[in-house]
Structure 1
């Protein structure tokens, strides 16, 4: 935490505080580092709706947010999760608000359908279908590549009318379909309104479900309906209610001991005209909701990094690393990534010829690094003589051997735990991927299940080792009393997690040393390649830095010209400009 020391908030209930502390321990164990920014922007007493995204790490998103949020908040939780044995119990204890999502009750329809956007854009025809029995107005009919039709009227068993044409469909043949029934969320909205009227806070993941895509999914309208509906019922909320965007920015979210940044953004104030439009209903109600969604979407861009696809994200991240800046904090890296995504995509849409050339060079540079098995930040370390590299290599190998010797017992003792977390999380990944139409590889569930399995299996494994030691005492130490033997066994059970934590921290150092060995091997084996790589990187870094400065109005639209400080090499001192903006 960096900015929340000065925030004064009402004391949350004791149980919530205890869980918040527990969640903080869990996030500290799983993540190597978490930075939190923007907590000074969170209102200290007014009601808030926290909209959180991207939802890239399933239940870990909630753990990470609740452990860092300065306000006590009630989370909207999918009913399927609320009814699960472990996750659901936690949700019930923390007074989470269960929500039935249409995608959770989707079922297959009878027969098959056909649709033609050109010939009849507002009707879907069926064959051997039972529309009158299976469909109702406001239901969704889903087919093909996640095409959705919103049912306006059921005409017959083989014909329905939809509210809007479905774009980009070329279906001229009969296909199977699914039905997503309309869900009346009035009870949920009423409960949310009660909390907001009491100046409480609500947390919503507006994408609707977790995913592992490089870009955020379109925002669902639920939180906008909640906010506008609450203000329509209680006009006093118009000046008080704020919507706070929260960005969860992970560096490899599924990996143990990775890093994360939690960014709280500028709160969105409510426009009274939106509330008036919402009250009128019909078209004006939809427009009011759309206005709030658009504002929220723009607000998310200030706290998240979104790329249109994974390949583009890799190129932009590499370009950001090559951009000539000083060493940055995690938060500054995230902010610079965000600026680069904005500028890069705009120039890509304009088909800028120099950008196309730079993209090609960056891809070649990335492929070269991948072939040699080193990272971009290690290229500068190749500027070393083979003799010095050999000495440094031997010293680090010696350190690595010592750390491996210290950590070997812990690794061997935890092999059953490692196997269980890996196997079960991979199985859950397959199940999540099979049941989703938006996930790419299902990586968003890996961290959650690793932590759940470890939380259950680790105490059992340590108990097993303690039982073995107790059996040893019974057989080999007859002079000891049963009470003493049990106390010693309990001490063995309790001390194991402490020892494993210490060895885990040593393991962080060991991993850093291991990663530094490859460039040293390269510097010893083939120093010419290192020289070529450094020249290649320096040239590419110079070109990208020059290109960014030429288009700084696109890459840094929020920075005024007088906040851009350049040194003698014409480098943009982003760190100073970030500090300047903070003031």
Structure 2
């Protein structure tokens, strides 16, 4: 039997050292001070990095963050690899003064660029089975493979199962097509699976057809050892019972899907287990759901909204129920966590639908778009999406979706954005020409002002773009979950910039120092001081160029519709007018959709509508109890056939990013029950509905005027 490397690696070696040093009298206090100082220093540095990469970072619901006590931040979706943890830690430190220790994949923990700051921030490493996958000897096939059989017996040819595989470990197909857990190893050439490879024989996909072919004819394979997570759980229990803060991304690896990956029961067991082990009769662990909503997360100077949801309190009463009925309590808590995450995130079944929802939101808010802050933008997208998902089968809703999709597609072909359509005009070309020349002058001016910084920093942009694209290709090739692997681009742009930017500043400062000394301009100023001043000036030049360039970019983006308006022929003018008319009709239809179905779904629809027309940016308490409590499809329920919850070594903390399971999976044992029990919202009476619709249309047209 192969030795389980996780028995050694799951334990945090830094924690062991800290505990041994802490046993020395007086050292514990000094060690705590040192760890707090290093944490704050690292967070201060990364806060500058985050606010340089993102143009705007908005926090919402910070009043939900507890100022003291044990806290678990459950964060989703994991769309920006190593950037997501930085956004979480800097936001929590700034908003509530709490220090978050993250559960980090051991694979990343062992790299220098993640491991060093992770250690300084007291991260807890977690070994994942998919990170220990390696090729094995021989070929495998499934005995009597077919839809009528169990398909759990694996036959090997030239294999060495007893020495290369292990019970409870994984055996998988090449190219991440799928894997299964090993139940028992009978010989070097025969083993039994706990469950068969997941394949739909009735309507197999292209991937499943390839799996059927490989498992029938024989194929190369990979194995991974069983990971013992018992020590990790104990570390987490001790951490929480010391009234500290924990952060976890329960989806596991990052991804760029428009929906959440299924959640594993590990996060629920952490809270329940910590309270159960605590000797404090009043111990409470608070679970805070955190939603990350990015606007182009892979792009430099994009925007992000981080939203902190309502706390979920895990008390001693819950722990007592957990000890008596583990499965049901874990299921209920996991369902509640999933529900709260869905309340503060935008989740969609596919990318095209998500883009259509965003287009519908822009149509709805077109009249006062500039005055709407980012948190309200996210909330509107979420509500429109929920309304669409609720009534997606209705013909009028499908017709509206298709119309908005075609409109959005036409804008992409023309190279226009929705907010630019209303700027297109055929009247008074002279005034439009003057405006165009003015904007062109501003664009040129700001470009010239930012040019020194662009030239100085251009090597960073070029190298960062090239390396991030290469890493994107590697990540996409190694995952069946990612769509385009855009989730790794932002991380590698930042990592490359952190290495190259200081080197560039040193180079330019050295060149400036050499020139000043050579031509006698520096005078009696020491070379070291001249170099430091030059380094500082280089930093200021690039920062000033960044801010000036943003203003110029805003002016540049307004040139396209003006250019269309000036140079369009008569035929193009008609096309523009048709496009504007299409947009106007679609905007009315979207408003009608929201007004028709909104009141039946959201108790606070009228309050929310009024807030939309007179939003106060200081008011950060928009109600978002917008979900039906039965609509929970992302949590992976703990069924009787799953691993035993009494053995923490078998509990997965992260989702397996390579198992091909998507959040649209309907295999959950409770999914059909939830669908059957989901109440059908009843639309308002027709007369009342039409009266409210006329009133809101009048308000909407007044705002437009």
TM-score, with normalisation over the residues of structure 1? 0.90
CA–CA distance in structure 2, aligned partners of residues 288 and 540 of structure 1: 47
Among 403, 416, 437, the residue aligned to 1:374: 416
- 1:541 is aligned to 2:587: yes
- The Cα of 1:545 is off from its aligned counterpart by 1.3
1:22-171 mapped onto 2 (5 Å cutoff): 22-69=45-92, 70=96, 71-115=98-142, 116=145, 118-121=147-150, 123-128=152-157, 129-143=159-173, 146-170=177-201, 171=212
- The Cα of 1:285 is off from its aligned counterpart by 2.9
Partner of 1:505: 547
Among 438, 457, 473, the residue aligned to 2:481: 438
CA–CA distance in structure 2, aligned partners of residues 562 and 451 of structure 1: 43
CA–CA distance in structure 2, aligned partners of residues 529 and 394 of structure 1: 24
Among 441, 453, 457, the residue aligned to 1:398: 441
CA contact (8 A) 2:258 2:349 kept: yes
Among 239, 258, 263, the residue aligned to 2:302: 258
CA–CA distance in structure 1, aligned partners of residues 295 and 365 of structure 2: 21
Partner of 1:234: 278
CA–CA distance in structure 2, aligned partners of residues 137 and 272 of structure 1: 35
Q: Deviations over 1:248-303 (max 9, x none)?
A: 111000000000000000111227675345435xxx43443332222111111011
1:308-457 mapped onto 2 (5 Å cutoff): 308-324=349-365, 326-327=368-369, 328-348=372-392, 351-383=393-425, 385-457=428-500
Look up the SS of the partner of 2:261 in the other structure. Answer: coil
Residues 212 and 478 (structure 1 numbering): CA distance in 2 closer, same or farther, change over 3 Å?
A: closer
Partner of 1:225: 269
- The Cα of 1:575 is off from its aligned counterpart by 4.5
Partner of 1:305: 346
CA–CA distance in structure 2, aligned partners of residues 495 and 422 of structure 1: 25
CA contact (8 A) 2:241 2:275 kept: no
- 1:517 is aligned to 2:540: no
Partner of 1:21: 44
Partner of 1:285: 326
Q: Deviations over 1:8-44 (max 9, x none)?
A: xx99923222222222211110000010011101122
Q: Gaps (5+ residues) in structure 1? A: 1-9
1:470-509 mapped onto 2 (5 Å cutoff): 470-477=513-520, 480-481=523-524, 484-509=526-551
Partner of 1:551: 597
Residues 23 and 225 (structure 1 numbering): CA distance in 2 closer, same or farther, change over 3 Å?
A: same
CA contact (8 A) 2:104 2:125 kept: yes
CA–CA distance in structure 2, aligned partners of residues 386 and 424 of structure 1: 46
Look up the SS of the partner of 2:103 in the other structure. Answer: strand
Partner of 2:574: 528
Partner of 1:197: 241
Look up the SS of the partner of 1:250 in the other structure. Answer: strand
CA contact (8 A) 2:42 2:120 kept: no
- The Cα of 1:378 is off from its aligned counterpart by 1.2
Q: Deviations over 1:401-420 (max 9, x none)?
A: 11111112221222222222
CA contact (8 A) 2:172 2:221 kept: yes
- The Cα of 1:470 is off from its aligned counterpart by 2.5
CA–CA distance in structure 1, aligned partners of residues 178 and 318 of structure 2: 30
- The Cα of 1:456 is off from its aligned counterpart by 1.4
CA–CA distance in structure 1, aligned partners of residues 273 and 495 of structure 2: 37
Q: Which has the higher contact order (CA 8 A, sep 6+)?
A: 2
CA–CA distance in structure 2, aligned partners of residues 466 and 447 of structure 1: 28
Partner of 1:4: none
CA contact (8 A) 2:64 2:308 kept: yes
CA contact (8 A) 2:61 2:621 kept: no
Q: Deviations over 1:91-112 (max 9, x none)?
A: 1111111111111111223333
CA RMSD of aligned residues (A): 2.7
Q: Aligned pair count?
A: 562
CA contact (8 A) 1:38 1:263 kept: yes
Larger mean Cα displacement after TM superposition, 411-420 or 47-56? 411-420
CA–CA distance in structure 2, aligned partners of residues 163 and 352 of structure 1: 42
